[in-house]
Amino acid sequence: MDVNAAVAAAAAIAGVLTGVIAMLAFRWSERDQKRPTRTSLHTDPVLPPGVDTVLSVLRSSAVVLDEADAVVKASSAAYALGLVRGGKLAVEPMLQMTRDTRRDGEIRQVELDLPRRGTGRGDALAVSARVAPLGSRLVLLLVEDLTEARRIEAVRRDFVANVSHELKTPVGALSLLSEAVMDASDDPEAVQRFAGRMQIEATRLTNLVQELIDLSRVQNDDPLEDAEPVRVDELVAEAIDRCRHQAGQKQITMAAGGTADLHVWGNRGQLAAALGNLVENAVNYSPARTRVGIAARHVAGPGGDVIELAVTDQGIGISDKDKERIFERFYRVDPARSRATGGTGLGLAIVKHVAASHGGEVTVWSAEGQGSTFTLRLPEAGAARDRAQQHPDLDEEAGTTESSPYEPLPAPEVLP
């Protein structure tokens, strides 16, 4: 009996001890699960409060990295630039910057050229990368795309260089001619000759400055702010009148034709300047006793009806390699001939900007020795006739158009 009681007591004590040990083990395991481990710091980091919201509104590409260089947070722009791939920062120089900043806590910034993703071209993305510590364990990388800014800066730099060069030529000529006039003060004929040259250079300088002003205006202004229905017949007549004197000196016949009573919607001054530049170029680059034609027609297209204004000459023509660049600022097919005619190299650049700002385009067909055809395509005024009915003065003008004093010319074929 005493033996049975002892066994029972021992069993009770063993059961109590087992329960106590099980409870202690459960509590220990629960506490151990709540304790942050080194592994959890790497796999489940937490951004400081508010950082996620700030990163979402930044214009720069943002990447947050943890102690193991794993990407904790990355913006969509960072993925688009190819900075993050497979959860890792894919740009080695930036990765090294983050490691250095994590080590010493210093903010670093550098500009890099990165290859474009998915292109076979050799062009690169210009970026500015800035790295800063974010708390005690994280590092923030901000990347700004500078590609477009650099392109604009290069264009501005080239433009300033070209302007300086173009201004230097007439200014230098005026300086030399003024010295020549002073030295030839005793020779009236020489003074008259040098004075005539000075007038030519002064006119060239005036034209250059004016075209620079015109180019700046068409680039910065919105032509549709002061848009109105513009009659194409009036634009053609104004362009012909503008070049009447030069054409008369070279005995060039100017002819207008095509479809009458067409309207476009836009800034009248800019449209007149664009068409005038095309006609002026045609006259300047055509031999004497030739023909320059301006024709307008209506063309229906899937994207909307357009008005085509074609200016055709019988001039020297343009080579294939030059046709790709003639709309660049200050580019001349024949620099020597351009300077002789007073050309500035800005006329076609102005035409291109005017066409683009009005939702149109300008194209060229040309063959060396056979002449050229420049075609200005502009959207037709969507409700030109309705607007004309609302403005009686415009309607009266449309009904009393005088016959053109110029020889009629059929619409030239627009060559591909």
Query: What is the mean pLDDT of the segment spanning 28-40?
Result: 46
Least confident stretch, 80-84, 100-104, 290-294, 381-385: 381-385
CATH class label, 148-220:
mainly alpha
Cα 260 from chain centre:
35
CA distance 35 to 27: 13
Pairing mode, if any, of strands 253-258 and 291-299?
Answer: parallel
> Mean pLDDT throughout 141-153?
85
Check residue 376 and give its pLDDT.
Answer: 94
Domain ranges of the chain: 43-145, 148-220, 224-408
What is the band of 37 on the pLDDT scale with cuts at 50, 70, 90? very low
Helix (H) or strand (E) run with residue 138 in it: strand 138-145
What mean pLDDT value characterizes the chain?
76
Mean pLDDT confidence for 171-181: 86
Q: Is 62 within 8 Å of 140 (Cβ atoms)?
A: yes
User: Which residues in 358-402 belong to E strands, given as ranges?
Assistant: 361-367, 371-379
User: Percent of the chain scored above 90 by pLDDT?
Assistant: 16
Q: 229 and 384 in contact (C-beta within 8 Å)?
A: yes
Is domain 43-145 annotated with CATH 3.30.450.20?
Answer: yes
* 335-387 tens-digit pLDDT: 544 455 555 677 888 899 889 888 899 999 988 888 899 999 999 886 433 44
**CATH superfamily to which 224-408 belongs:** Histidine kinase-like ATPase, C-terminal domain (3.30.565.10)
Mean pLDDT check: name the lowest of 14-28, 72-86, 155-169, 200-214. 14-28
Name the residue with higher pLDDT: 294 or 369: 294
Whether the predicted pLDDT of 185 surpasses 60? yes
Helix (H) or strand (E) segment spanning residue 76: helix 76-80
Contact 310, 294 (CB under 8 A): yes
| pLDDT top residue among 335 and 57 | 57
Neighbours of 264 (CB within 10 A): 25
> What is the per-residue pLDDT for 362?
93
How many whole angstroms separate alpha carbon 74 and alpha carbon 82? Answer: 11
pLDDT (mean) for 300-316: 86
Q: pLDDT tens digit string along 207-251?
A: 778 777 777 776 666 667 777 889 999 999 999 998 888 899 999
- What DSSP string describes 99-113? HHHHHH---EEEEEE
pLDDT at residue number 49: 72
